[in-house]
Amino acid sequence: MESNLIKKLFFEKIFCFPVVGREYSVVPLGIEHSEEVVKWRNNPKNLELFENTNMITLESQRVFMTTYDEKDRVDLVLLFREQPIGVFNIKNLECFPEYGALIGEESFRGLGLSSKMKKAMLEFWFNILDQHSIFVKLRSKNEYVIKSNLRIGFEFVDNEGELTILKLDKERWNNDC
């Protein structure tokens, strides 16, 4: 399925994503979320866990958003009472689909929100979009998230330097969940 169709379906069906409680919602990433994304991305606790550890600027995030429609990815923002608290994405939609997430607001970590969103996105990816596999690429020192992914069915693929690559296939997802 081509990436523009995947993006279109994600954004059309976003209201179907089950999130915890009435006060949570999910929206497509927009330029209006740029300040929060920059703040979260540049937080040293978060930055050390990203594949790309370069800091970003508000200007670079805005430029990213002006060309977003051309990008081979889909990004969603989790809101609590209309305030952004985290971002979730799948990039490289057509060739090496890779899931990523960040609960940027630290007070919302540890509540299971990231796990619920991940499961909702994977369910959509495999059973609505009928995709066959998805990867995660994580810093090897991010043991908590690696273990979390292994528990829901991801399997080890490879280590590339400081990165661990895991893969989840549709068949394994549907059999394990």
Structural element, H or E, at residue 80: strand 73-80
User: Residue 1 pLDDT more than 80?
Assistant: no
Counting every residue written for the chain, the total comes to 177
What's the CA gap between 103 and 84, in Å, rounded?
A: 9
Looking at per-residue confidence, does 59 or 18 come out higher?
A: 59
Looking at per-residue pLDDT, the higher value among 46 and 59 belongs to: 59
In whole angstroms, how large is the CA radius of gyration of the chain?
15
**pLDDT number for residue 159:** 92
Backbone angles phi, psi at 7, to 5 degrees: -60, -45
Mean pLDDT lowest for which of 11-15, 30-34, 50-54, 95-99?
Answer: 11-15
Band (pLDDT 50/70/90 cuts) for residue 20 is low
> Does the domain formed by 3-176 have CATH 3.40.630.30?
yes
Q: Is the distance from CB of 168 to CB of 151 less than 8 angstroms?
A: no
User: What average pLDDT does range 8-33 have in this prediction?
Assistant: 83
Sequence-separated (6 or more) residues with CB below 8 Å from residue 29: 37, 65, 68, 75, 76, 77, 87, 89
If pLDDT is split at 50, 70 and 90, which confidence band does 19 have?
Answer: confident
Average pLDDT over residues 74-95: 94
| Cα–Cα nearest to 69, from 137, 11, 1 | 11
Band of pLDDT at residue 177, cut at 50, 70 and 90: low
pLDDT at 78: 94
Q: Answer yes or no: are the C-beta atoms of 116 and 15 closer than 8 Å.
A: no
* Residue boundaries of the structural domains of the chain: 3-176
pLDDT at 32 over 90: yes
> Is 95 a residue whose pLDDT tops 80?
yes
Rounded to whole angstroms, the Cα distance separating 75 from 27 reads 9
Give the residue, 100 or 51, on which the prediction is more confident: 100
Tens digits of per-residue pLDDT, 122-168? 999 999 899 999 999 999 999 999 999 999 999 999 998 999 999 99
